[in-house]
Each structure stands twice: as structure tokens, then as C-alpha cells.
Amino acid sequence: MSIKLYWVDEKQTILRYDVRGRWTWWDFYEAFGRAYRMSATVQHRVDMMVNLADSGPFPGGALNHAQTLSNRLSENMGLTIVVTGNRLAKALYQSGCGLYPNVPAFLRLANSVEEARALIEAERNQEDA
């Protein structure tokens, strides 16, 4: 399996996917299923970081798969931050935002894991205000 999934914090509020090497959408769906089950074990919001910094080539069909995955989020799954410097992924994200204006409400991009954590923290602080 090219995707490792684990809780980032002891309170189990952030799930992190580390995607390494070559991967397929089927690998991601399997990891997403595990994330869904893990998030169902807690009653609070769970945000996700998908770290693609060490991943292989981006599989085709990203927009269709992103839409499918967005329809499968559990009630307590919050924001998903994708960590990538990949220009193709960034272009796909921009296209997706144009086609589906609600995308930024649940999916954003970051250049680093640290930036992803900061985006999650800012979103949580905004909701608490």
C-alpha cells in the first residue's frame, strides 16, 4: 500500500494520509474507507491532510474522483488540505473550483504540512468566532 493513514494528534481531530510513490485511485478509495471508519469512532469534527509531497505521478480523472469522494464524506469530516507542489494538481484544483464553486468549503491546497496545519487551525478559529 502506498498510502499510510494515521491520527496526527492525541485528540483525534486530524487524520493524515502520507502518499508515497506510485498510487492509484483505488488505493486512495481504500484509504478513504479507512479514514471514514476512523472518523466514525469520534463525535467531533475530523479534518484531513493528504500529503502528496512524496507521491508519484498524479492519476488521471482527478476531478471526477474528487467529486465522488466529496459525496462520501461523513457528517463529522471537515476540511481536507492537500499538500502538494505539483503544478498539475494545482491547475486541476483551480479547474475544479471553477466547475464546482463549493470546493473550497471542504478542499484546499497547501505547499507544506505546516501550512496545512495552519489552514486547519485558521478555519477552526473562524468557526469558533
Residue-range domain boundaries for the chain? 3-128
Print pLDDT tens along the chain (129 aa).
589 999 999 999 999 999 999 998 899 889 989 999 999 999 999 999 999 999 988 777 666 666 666 666 667 888 999 999 888 888 888 887 888 787 788 889 999 999 999 999 999 988 877
What is the pTM assigned to this prediction? 0.87
From the list 76, 62, 128, 64, the residue with the least C-alpha distance to 106 is 76
Superfamily covering domain 3-128:
STAS domain (3.30.750.24)
